[in-house]
Structure 1
Amino acid sequence: MHHGMAFSALTPVAFAARAAKVYADRPAVVDGALRYSYAELWSRARRLAGVLAGHGVRPGDRVAVLAPNTHVLLEAHYGVPLAGAVLVALNTRLAPAEIGYILEHSGARLVLVDAACGGALTETLGRCAARPRVIEAGGEPEDAYESLLAGADEHAVEVADERSLLSINYTSGTTGRPKGVMYHHRGAYLQALAMAYHAKLDTSSRYLWTLPMFHTNGWCFPWAVTAAGAVHHCLRGVSPPEIWRALRRDGVTHFCAAPTVLAMLAEDPAARVPLSRPVRVFAGGAPPWPSLLARTAALGIEVSHLYGLTETFGPAVVCEPKPEWRELPAEQRAPLMARQGIANVVAEPLRVAGPDGADVPADGETLGEILLRGNDVMLGYYRDEEATAAATTADGWFRTGDLGVLHPDGYVELRDRAKDLIISGGENITCVEVESALAEHPAVLEAAVVGAPHPRWGEVPVAYVVPRTAVPPGERELVAFVRERLAGFKAPRRIVFGELPKTSTGKIQKSRLREAAAHLALDQPVTGPEA
Structure 2
Amino acid sequence: METNLLTLLRRHAALTPDAPCLTFGDETLSFAAFDARASRVAHALAAQGLQAGDRVAIIARNGPAQFELFFGCAKAGAICLPINWRLAPREIAGILGDSTPALLIVEEALQGLLAETLTPPATILLAEYPAWRDAESPHDPGTLPAPESPLLILYTSGTTGLPKGVVLSHCNLSFLAQMAHELWEMSARSVNLVASPLFHIGGIGYGLTALSQGGHTVLMQQVVPAEIVAAIQTYRVTHGFFVPTVIQMLLEVPGVAEMDMSSINRIVYGGAPIGEAVLKRAITMLGCGFMSTYGMTETAGTVIMMPPEDHDPGGPLAHRLRACGRPMPWNEFALVDPATGEPVAVGEVGEIRIRSEAIMLGYWNKPAETAKTITPDGWMCTGDAAYQDADGYVYIHDRFKDMIVSGGENIYPTEIENVLYDHPAVAAVAVIGVPHKRWGETPMAFVVARAGAMPTEAELIAFTRARLAHYKCPTAVAFVAALPQNASGKILKKEMRDPRWLEEQA
Q: Contact 1:12–1:185 (CA<8 Å) still a contact in 2?
A: yes
Name the residue aligned to 1:332.
Answer: 316
Whether the 8 Å contact between 2:176 and 2:208 is mirrored in structure 1 is: no
What is the correspondence of 1:54-453 to structure 2 with a 5 Å cutoff?
54-113=47-106, 117-120=107-110, 122-137=111-126, 139=127, 144-153=128-137, 154-156=139-141, 158-216=143-201, 218=203, 220-273=205-258, 275-300=261-286, 301-321=288-308, 325=310, 330-345=314-329, 347-354=330-337, 355-362=339-346, 365-453=347-435
Q: Is the 8 A contact 1:82 1:157 kept in 2?
A: yes
Distance (whole Å) between structure 2 residues aligned to residue 17 and residue 519 of structure 1: 52
Aligned-partner Cα distance in 2 for 1:12–1:329: 37
Structure 1 gaps of 5+ residues are: 1-7, 521-531
TM-score by length of structure 1 reads 0.88
> What is the aligned partner in structure 1 of residue 46 from structure 2?
53
Give the gaps of 5 or more residues in structure 2. none
What is the CA–CA distance in structure 2 between the aligned matches of 1:434 and 1:332, rounded to whole Å?
22
Check conservation: 1:342, 1:410, Cα contact below 8 A: yes
The answer to whether the Cα contact below 8 Å between 2:495 and 2:501 also exists between their aligned partners in 1 is no
Provide closer, same or farther for how the CA distance between residues 291 and 485 of structure 1 changes in structure 2, counting only shifts above 3 A: farther
TM superposition outliers: structure 1 runs of 4+ over 6 Å:
517-520
Answer yes or no: is the 8 Å Cα contact 2:434–2:442 preserved in 1: yes
1:265 and 1:175 mapped to 2: Cα distance?
30
CA contact (8 A) 1:47 1:79 kept: yes
Contact 1:172/1:178 (<8 A) preserved: yes
Change (3 A) 1:185 1:519: closer
Taking the TM superposition and a 5 Å limit, the aligned residue runs for 1:34-53 are 34-53=27-46
- Segment drifting more, 270-279 vs 125-134: 270-279
SS in structure 1 of the partner of residue 21 of structure 2: strand
One-letter code aligned to 2:304:
V
- How far 1:203 sits from its partner (Å)? 1.5
Q: What is the TM-score of this pair, normalised by structure 2?
A: 0.93
Cα distance between partner residues in 2 of 1:270 and 1:65: 37
User: What's the offset of the Cα at 1:518?
Assistant: 10
List per-residue Cα deviations over 1:30-72 (Å, max 9, x = no partner).
Answer: 1111111111111111011111111222111100112222111
Task: Compare 34-43 and 193-202 and name the one that shifted more.
Answer: 193-202
Contact kept in structure 1, 2:354 and 2:380, CA below 8 Å: yes
Take 1:79 and 1:175, find their aligned partners in 2: how far apart are those partners?
33
Residue type of the alignment partner of 2:303: A
Distance (whole Å) between structure 2 residues aligned to residue 424 and residue 331 of structure 1:
35
CA contact (8 A) 1:83 1:155 kept: no
Q: Is the contact made by 2:74 and 2:145 (CA closer than 8 Å) also made in structure 1?
A: no
Q: CA RMSD in A?
A: 2.2
Q: Provide the secondary structure at the position in 1 that maps to 2:168.
A: strand
Q: Describe the SS at the equivalent of 2:211.
A: helix
Check the 8 A contact 1:210/1:235 in 2, yes or no.
Answer: yes
- For the residues of structure 2 that align with 1:268 and 1:478, how far apart are their CA atoms? 27
Q: Determine which of 513, 516, 526 is the counterpart of 2:496.
A: 513
Distance 1:147 1:308 in 2: 38
Per-residue CA deviation, residues 300-326 of structure 1 (Å, 9 max, x unaligned), is: 2532110011110011111235x5x57
| 2:332 partner SS | coil
Distance 2:264 2:495 in 1: 37
Q: Distance in 2 between matches of 1:419 and 1:261?
A: 26
Q: Kindly provide the CA deviation profile for residues 61-86 of structure 1, in whole angstroms up to 9, marking residues without a partner as x.
A: 10011222211112112111211100
Q: Percent identity?
A: 35
Alignment match, 1:468 = 450
Change over 3 Å in CA distance of 1:457–1:67 after alignment to 2: same
Number of aligned pairs? Answer: 498
Rounded to whole Å, the distance in 2 between the matches of 1:469 and 1:15 is: 46
CA distance in 2, matches of 1:75, 1:270: 36
Q: CA deviation at 1:157?
A: 6.0
